[in-house]
Amino acid sequence: MEVTQSYARPSHAGIDDSGALRMGLTAEASRPGVQLTAQIKDSRSYARVMLALYNVVSSDLRSKNKDHSGYQKWVEERYLEELDATLGAKLRALPGLKEKQGRLKERLKHLSREIRPLEQTIQSKDFYNKRYEYFQWLRKHDMDAWWVLDPVVSVHEDCVVFEVFSLDESSYGRVTVPWEKLEVLGDVRYGTTNVDYSSALADEMRRIRSYRPAFLSVAAEGVSIATGAGERVEKKIDLPPTWVRGFLQVQSAAVYPALEVPFSPETLSEVLAALQREREKTGPRSLRFQLTPGECPTITIEPWGTVIKERVHTYTGDSATEIRLWGRRRLLAFADLLPHADSVTARFLGTGMPSYWSITLDGHRFDIGVSGWTKNDWSSAARFDVLAATGQASDGDIAKASQELEKRLKLVPSDIADLSTETATAALQKLCATGMAMYDLADSCYRWRQLLPFPTPVSDEDQRSRLAGRIVQTGGVSFLKDTDEDEAFSTLTARTDDTTFRFRAWVRGGETRREAKFAVTLDLDNDGRVRFASCTCSFFKREKLRKGPCAHILAAVGLASQQLLGAKAAKKADTSSADAFDFTDKTFVFTGALTKFTREQAEGIVVQRGGKASGSVSKNTHYLVAGDKAGSKLAKAQELKIPVMTEDEFLALLGGSIA
């Protein structure tokens, strides 16, 4: 996907005649107008969190091959000293032959480069080629920007948010500047844009002092203004689709249940100082968090066994647990913040799972989300977007959610009129998937945030998702009734809490009926989010959710919205009427154009209440619900003298409402 990023001039900073430091963040010119000029309060803290953000965006902790050429040359010299003159002469000629070989290899590379465009005309480029070409282009044309993908800045009514990814895409960084920390000067235009954030600007950030006023300006300036300050900067890039997918996974994982643990800045300073002093040569390379209710957490640094105990905060969870975190050196990005931090809070999703860290300084907030381990970057991490919303949303629902969110800039699913909470949540998640919205963990709400000026195409599904789709299409998912007993589910823990609905299903391992079946359990909340998931397959037993849900959980999640609608309707009927219609063992068929509800919704409710849903009319059918333009099924039902209902009559059985 080729994207052109255009800037009137590079971002800049400097001290004016009054001694104030003015920072101009040049916005991407093709975006809708975003404008903000403000004096920053507690500017030194602002500079610190922005420098931590730069640490994230410029970091790459992927393992690199070490250069052993010097050692190998020394070994070769010692070897030559031990040989006779004849053989030694031949070996001394070897470097010249290797040099010739190197020249031939370079020639071969040159010819390969000429051939490659011809090959690319008959076969598509994969992502890795695109990413390689992009960074090679950027390194040649703008060395400073080569280290970063331009940060995203969003100006909202209550805060300004900066977001970035690290080079290895395993760390997500965010800075939130609340509105009360800005003294706004002039007009403000809300919206989202990219900003040019170079190493030179980071150097100027280091010059900020508490006694020196600091001003922030975000604006897309015209070319005429830029002529005196610098030339227009254009970057035409092949934007990796993983960039948008990474944002989606970060915010989707944020809504998954997690353990929230406060730490004192001094404790984490000790941990990070130990990591800076030592360099591990053997495994394991993890941080081990021991959490016991009513006691202060302890952190063990492996492989050295160094134990550091929290001195201030106690763990308030219900049960003792242990969390292990890998890729720990990514936390060094905020090491310089800790001596000045007011508070530090960690959110753990589980061992080997993503974690979130929040640090506040004088009201400014820095957040970093790290994937389960460094090589498991956010773009290839768990499919948390699937677990974040199980509901179904039509194109009309998505359009309505988009209009409402763009108008309000910030909302929760219940704010969208005429949509149920699970449908609204599903619609908002679709907007997140196309880069048009974000979920804000700090405020537990959705915000309007366009990563690009246009919706981004949703990336192709992975292999597990495709298998899950085939399992659903071939009828491989069978949900159990609440009254059904099965030993396969007897060892499970209780529901997440009283506000969730538990569903149990047998899911086939593949497309054919001879495949083994696995027991899947899901807990869904009122918004259709998965709060707990488990499966008896070997993949889940080995990986849990560290590498994403297995195909069987994905298949069950795909049908879970129908079950949730049925469970809600059944719960409402139980509390509203003792004389509710008994669906037990009754077979319903739905036909025609249904306008009051979807066929999937109605079938889910029938099954949840103990009935059966069929796609064809037979002598075993008890009721046919017919919408507009009902055809052959209606004729056959009349022939067999099967009772026929309208949509309103079916709704009357449910107490007047589908939800």
Work out the widest C-alpha separation in the chain, in whole angstroms. Answer: 107
pLDDT confidence band for 19 (50 / 70 / 90): low
Mean pLDDT of 71-93: 64
Residue for token digits 């242990």?
A: 322
Indicate the CATH number of 587-653 among 3.50.50.60, 3.40.50.20, 3.50.30.30, 3.40.50.10190.
Answer: 3.40.50.10190
pLDDT confidence band for 66 (50 / 70 / 90): low
pLDDT confidence band for 613 (50 / 70 / 90): confident
Closest of 354, 529, 545 to residue 464, by C-alpha: 545
How would you write 496-512 as a 3-class SS string?
CCCCCEEEEEEEECCCC
Among 1-5, 124-128, 220-224, 257-261, the least confident range: 220-224
Sheet holding 410-411, edge to edge: 410-411, 445-448, 437-440
Return the domain boundaries, the chain. Answer: 2-60+144-160+176-239, 246-385, 390-434, 463-576, 587-653
Indicate the CATH number of 246-385 among 3.40.50.720, 2.30.30.790, 3.30.930.10, 3.10.150.10.
Answer: 3.10.150.10
Rounded to 10 deg, the angle between the 551-576 and 599-608 helix axes is 70
Helix (H) or strand (E) holding 107: helix 94-120
pLDDT for 65: 59
| Mean pLDDT taken over the chain | 78
DSSP assignment of 355-406 equals EEEEEEETTEEEEEEE-SSTTS-GGGS--HHHHH------HHHHHHHHHHHH
pTM: 0.68
pLDDT for 3: 42
pLDDT confidence band for 8 (50 / 70 / 90): very low
Q: How many CA atoms lie within 13 A of 566 on its CB side?
A: 27
